Amino acid sequence: MPIPILQTWFAKKHSAAPPIKDRSQLRVGIPKVLNIWSTHQFWVGFLKALGISPENIIFSSDTSEEQGREFGKGRGTVDCCYPVKCMSGHYGELIFGQKKKINILLSPMIHSLPSILHGHVVDTVTCTRVMAGPENIKAGFMKENDVFVENGIVYASPFVSLGDRQLVSGQLYTSLKDILNLDPDETERAVQAGYQALENFTTRARQRSREILAWCAQNQKPCILVLARPYHMDTGIGHEIEAELQAHGYPILWLQYLPGDADLMNWLFAEDMRKGRIKTPFDISDVWTSSYSSNTNEIMWGAKVAARCPWITCVIRLSSYECGMDQPTYTPTQKIVEATGTLFFKFGDLDSTKPAGSIKIRVETIVHYLAKYSGSIIGRKLSWLSADCPLPRTSRERTPTRAMADEARAAEPKQLVVLH
Ligand code: SF4
């Protein structure tokens, strides 16, 4: 529903040329939730291209118990997984917690996602709870009275298929044209800028991950892969478990930013392709045939990469309280990772409370296993791959031989500890 204040700002004067669309004073709040964690750069690029000043694009803080208590209390509408439930606090913080009020609360209903697996899987749609989350949470702010109107805020929740580039301009134009006084051409240009910003960011992050792997290869050091959904990067959702491990000197890679370079992927998956198990390194049909869900697909692919990449000697699996999408993936991911002796540890049912004590004990266990077995895991996985590794390696390093593989196998953990 158009809000009068914005219509006034952009209203056409009959006798004059079309007004310059000065949007620099508009303040747009975006709840930093769910798949905003993997698409934020799209929204920043899109809004900046429309003339919104960067300082007027406001993301809510990371999730916290205080945020939920102060801004989301009494606004709950659904009994749901924790990442959706905590959205009320983010909405409330943007509505009530800003010194300078926002004009628009932008909470997109993201239907599909850009993905490194695009074209190799059936589809890249989001979880239905991600899609419907904004509508659910909005209801909590309208059940007695319309909190958005009371606070002079326009609520904008475009349905957007970010995984289908050709649909996006039309979808955003249709849902935002009255709110932002858009025309189709500038919407298309802004969408283009959004995708470019997202690609630039993702490319840099993947390059950084490659540098970490290259450092591990050069120094024969292990690293850890986090298998989780993008919003587990939120310190209130993932509880910074990976940071505790990094503090022990183990570099961390996130699944979402694994390097997908052809040289590296072809090296890791050469044998699978030669045997005809998969068509490309991004093909997951050998382990996951119903490959519709973008984040789930990527979790399965990440497990396959971890199982093959020598320097990823440990996988940390994070999952949130009441996540229905993760349930069927627990066993497959664990089996894929452990098939090559790679360590696998799961932290499940994460919710608002950070179980600091139990995390500390588990981290100590993981660090113990990493120190004890990483060398043999690296050696064993190297022995299965061809010698032409695309990552720089030290001259000190021995070429994997049958003897080395036997030595690595002898040092194999007899039983791996899995934490639930
Ligand atoms: S994938 Fe799981 S945690 Fe994420 S929104 Fe869906 S049910 Fe919730």
- From start to end of 276-352, where are the E strands? 312-320, 343-350
- Predicted local distance difference test score (pLDDT) of residue 4: 42
Query: What mean pLDDT value characterizes the chain?
Result: 90
Q: Report which DSSP code applies to 379.
A: H
Cβ 84 under 6 angstroms from ligand 1? yes
- Enumerate the domain spans of the chain: 4-201, 221-410
Cα–Cα distance for residue pair 123/114, rounded to 1 Å: 10
Cα–Cα distance for residue pair 85/89, rounded to 1 Å: 9
Pick from 91-105, 193-207, 263-277, 342-356: least confident: 342-356
For the cut 70, the answer to whether the pLDDT of residue 394 exceeds it is no
Ligand 1 atom with least separation from CA of 320: 3
- Predicted local distance difference test score (pLDDT) of residue 16: 44
pLDDT in tens, 233-261: 999 999 999 999 999 999 999 999 999 99
Mean pLDDT (whole number) for 164-189: 97
- Predicted local distance difference test score (pLDDT) of residue 413: 40
Cα(326) to centroid of ligand 1, in Å?
Answer: 8
Ligand 1 atom with least separation from CA of 322: 7
Cβ 239 under 6 angstroms from ligand 1? no
Extract long-range pairs of 414-420: CB within 8 Å, 24+ residues apart. 416/338, 416/341, 416/343, 416/344, 416/369, 417/345, 417/365, 417/369, 418/334, 418/344, 418/345, 418/346, 419/345, 419/346, 419/347, 419/362, 419/365, 420/346, 420/348
Cα–Cα distance for residue pair 249/370, rounded to 1 Å: 11
In the block, residue with structure tokens 């899109």 = 46
Mean pLDDT (whole number) for 342-347: 97
- Burial environment of residue 355 by CB neighbours within 10 A (0 to 12, 13 to 18, 19 or more): middle
Cα(255) to centroid of ligand 1, in Å?
Answer: 17
Selected from 2.60.40, 3.30.70, 3.10.100, 3.40.50, the CATH number assigned to the domain covering 221-410 reads 3.40.50
Q: Tell me the DSSP string of 318-338.
A: EEETT-TTTGGGHHHHHHHHH
In sequence order, which residues have a C-beta less than 8 Å from that of residue 309 and are 6 or more positions away? 213, 225, 268, 381
pLDDT confidence tier of residue 353, bands split at 50, 70 and 90:
confident
Cα–Cα distance for residue pair 232/226, rounded to 1 Å: 9
pLDDT in tens, 49-107: 999 999 999 999 999 999 999 999 999 887 789 999 999 999 999 999 999 999 999 99
pLDDT in tens, 190-212: 999 999 999 999 999 999 999 99
- This model's pTM is above 0.85: yes
Cβ 232 under 6 angstroms from ligand 1? no
Degrees to nearest 5, angle at CA 58 with 55 and 63: 145
Mean pLDDT (whole number) for 300-315: 98
Q: What is the largest CA-CA distance in the chain?
A: 87
- Please report, in angstroms and rounded to a whole number, the separation of the first and last CA atoms in the chain: 47
